[in-house]
Structure formats: C-alpha cells, structure tokens
Amino acid sequence: MRTTFTQFRSYERSVQLLLANQFTINLGFYMLMPYLAQHLSGGLGLAGWLVGLVLGVRNFSQQGMFLVGGTLADRFGYKPLIVAGCVLRTVGFATLGLVDSVLALVVASAATGFAGALFNPAVRAYLAADAGERRVEAFALFNVFYQAGTLLGPLVGMLLTGVDFRITCLVAAAIFALLSVVQIRSLPARRGNDATGAGTGPGVLAQWRGIVRNRAFLLFSTAMIGSYVLSFQVYLALPLEVRRLGGDGQFGTVAVALLFAASGLTTILAQTRVTAWCKERMAPGRALTWGLLTMGAAFVPLLAATAVPVPGAGTGRWLLAAVPPTLAALLLALGTMIAYPFEMDTIVQLSGDRLVATHYGLYNTICGVGITLGNLLTGAALDAAREAGMSALPWLALLVLGLVCSGSLYGLHRAGRLTRTVPEAEPAVT
C-alpha cells in the first residue's frame, strides 16, 4: 500500500482528483445497486418482470449510450461531461429513493445509466491525457481505486439498507452531489488534443465512420470482449456454483462474500506491483495475451473439481463449494491486473491520440454488448449442464473462450496491429 500511495502522490493534482473521484463514484454506486432489486420486489412489491425492466433500462441506457457520451466529451471537453454525469446520477439516485410509481422508477433508472455513459469515457480520456507517458501506471492506480470503491460500497450499503433503503439512496445521492461540487471547483478544464467545438471540424457521423474503419481497433475490441465475459463470472457463475454446492444459507452467503473480498483485496494490494513487473519484462501485447490466458485458466480449478465426487454434507462439501470458486476469483483478479492497464493504454495507441473519449465510448459499447451475449450463453450453459449432468460444460466453455481470445490478441500483437503511431487522415466532409 505504501508503494501505491507513493505513486498516487507522484502524479499532478488533476490525476489524483480523477482517481479519488473514481473511488467515490464506485462507492456511491455499489452502496445502492446491489440492493435495488430487493427494494423493488420486496419493498415496493413490483412484479418480477417490472424489476427486470427497471434494471434493464439502466443497463441499456448506459451501455447503449457510451458512444454518445464519448463523442460529447471530445466535442465539449472532459470536465463538463464528468460533472453532468455526476449531477444526473445525483438526481437519479435521489429519485429512486423517493418515488414508487413505475414510470418514475424507469426514468430514474435510465438517468442513472445515462450518467455513467456521460462520465465514464470522459474520465478515462482525461486520465490518459494528463498521465502522458505514465498512462499504464496511472490506469493501474485507477483499477486500485475502482476496486476499493467496489469493495467498500456494498458494505456501507448493507448497513444503511438495514435501516431503510431510502436512506441508502439519499446518502448515495449526497455523495454524488458532493462529488459534483468538488469537481466544479477543483477539476481543471481539459480537452483532447484534437478537440473542436460544436459546429466546427468534421461532423459526428464522419468521425464515427473514421473510427469504424479502424480495423485494428475493432479487432482489438472484439478480442477483449472475452476478458469482460470472463471477469463478470465473479458475479454470475461463481456465486451460483457456491450456492449450488453450499446452499443458500449462512455458509453460502459467507462464501460468496469471500469471492468478492478475495478479488477486490488482491487487486488493491497487488495491482501496482503486478503492473511494474509486467512493464519491465514484456511488451503490452504480450501482457494482454498473458492476462487473457490467466483469466481463462481461472476456470481450471472448477473444471478439475468436477472430477471429484461431491460429498453429501459436512466439511468436505463446504471445501468443494468454497475453494475452487475462490481460486478462480483470485486468478481472474490476477488476469485483470495484468491486462487492464495495458488494455486502456492500447485504446489510446490505436486511436492515434485522436477522439480518445469517442474510442473509449465505442469500446465500452462493444464490450457491453459482448457481456450481455456472453452472460446469456453462460447462463444457458449452466442450465444445460445441470439438466444433462455435465457439470464440466460451463467451465470448459469459459476456458476455451479465454484461450481463443488470448490467441487472438497474440496474433494481433505479432502482426503489429496493437500500435498505431500515425493518425489516419480525417475523412472529407461533403
């Protein structure tokens, strides 16, 4: 932790503020979101399909609008979009705690999602710009602060929700309101190197066409979908496996909490050292390849566990329910630590340092769609495995996904497709 703090202090004030902002953003978000479904179904008595609608609208309004948020950030500057996103999330979270009509809940949910689409690409582009040649190290720190907020948020939310979920919503809204004020007062204005005001320079559609013609960027984005599908299994397949073997009682709850704690704490404690080690010994493309390979290998312990007879009860069953998923969570965290800083840096490289926020926005949208499809397929594989008695099927499929994506990244690296030092000419506007 001392190394992390020393690195944090070594950056200029704007980078420090962006890192602290990301911790606070995740703290406020994860205070509320894990408990929203229970509030909607239990507290408000909504039907299951309405709960799914409210949550789905939030996800769609974020994943589907990342490209718009990134484009706006490149047009109007990074700070206005970061502030606008935080203000909008303040309103959305407060509304979720104060209303009970379905229409108001849907609108509030859409607002919280769109808020993320506004500030996420802008924050990453701003960090990349101000970190300069130290982008990789800056994004390693970014992941530390990101994971710290993700780990602490649900714990704070659990305490507040134990009193009243409305209090959780209002406290989360207050956090975003305070964050908005701090950024308005303290975050310097920043625009991309190629930023143009609205109504000047190439049109938005012309810029989007130029990005879509960047084959290396699209190939890289597609290959990296696997990293997000694999890492998301900490929230999907691994908890389901723990509860399948360990039950839904106290043991299952504790074991699932252990998964999240193992993943988050490992990142907080080791991210900066892992990044420094990788940067000294391998090229970015190789680091990305090893990161995806490690994430695929995370499912080997679960695959091996399917060859062990499941004990009827007792300590043996508990160990089988907890140990392989926890090992998988640790390996997923390690793979993410290896890949993430180089992933964020590669996007800047492939953008040619032009329209960086727009590239981040499109990248997030592509990966978001991939996560949705990947989770649908993972869920189908879990159901098929149970019905057919083939418990190894989902773990084998996830292992193969990691191998395929790591192989794709290795191929792009060997072909020199993960760097682009000369920007392509902007397409003519007619």
The pLDDT assigned to 258 comes to: 85
Residue 424 predicted with pLDDT over 80: no
**Boundaries of every domain in the chain:** 9-192, 203-418
Tokens of 35: 């408990």
Matching CATH number, 9-192, of 1.20.1250.20, 1.20.120.80, 3.40.50.11540, 3.40.30.10: 1.20.1250.20
Sign of the CA dihedral running 224, 225, 226, 230: positive
Looking at residue 424, what DSSP letter applies? P
Mean pLDDT (whole number) for 121-126: 96
| Local confidence band at 422 (pLDDT 50, 70, 90 cut-offs) | very low
Is there a contact between 32 and 172 (Cβ–Cβ < 8 Å)?
yes
Looking at per-residue pLDDT, the higher value among 391 and 360 belongs to 360
The pLDDT assigned to 426 comes to: 46
Looking at residue 306, what DSSP letter applies? T
H-only helix segments in 232-283? 237-246, 250-281
Mean pLDDT (whole number) for 93-112: 94
Domains 9-192 and 203-418 in one fold: yes
Mean pLDDT (whole number) for 359-383: 89
146-204 pLDDT tens trace: 999 999 999 999 899 889 999 999 999 999 999 999 999 999 999 876 655 555 567 89
pTM for the full predicted model: 0.91
CA angle 16, 19, 21 (to 5 degrees): 105
| Local confidence band at 430 (pLDDT 50, 70, 90 cut-offs) | very low
Residue 348 predicted with pLDDT over 60: yes
Which CATH number does 203-418 carry?
Answer: 1.20.1250.20
d(CA 399, CA 273): 26
Residue 428 predicted with pLDDT over 50: no
Is there a contact between 341 and 412 (Cβ–Cβ < 8 Å)?
no
The backbone region for 191, taken as left when phi is positive above 0, alpha when psi lies in -120 to 50, beta otherwise, is beta
d(CA 262, CA 43): 31
Mean pLDDT (whole number) for 43-68: 88
289-321 pLDDT tens trace: 999 999 999 999 999 998 888 777 778 888 888
* DSSP codes joined into one string, 371-423: HHHHHHHHHHHHHHHHHHT-TTHHHHHHHHHHHHHHHHHHHHHHTTTT---SP
Tokens of 251: 């043991």
Sign of the CA dihedral running 189, 194, 199, 205: negative
Q: Which helix (H) or strand (E) holds 428?
A: none
Residue 361 predicted with pLDDT over 90: yes
Residue 3 predicted with pLDDT over 80: no
Longest dimension (CA), the chain: 73
| Local confidence band at 98 (pLDDT 50, 70, 90 cut-offs) | very high
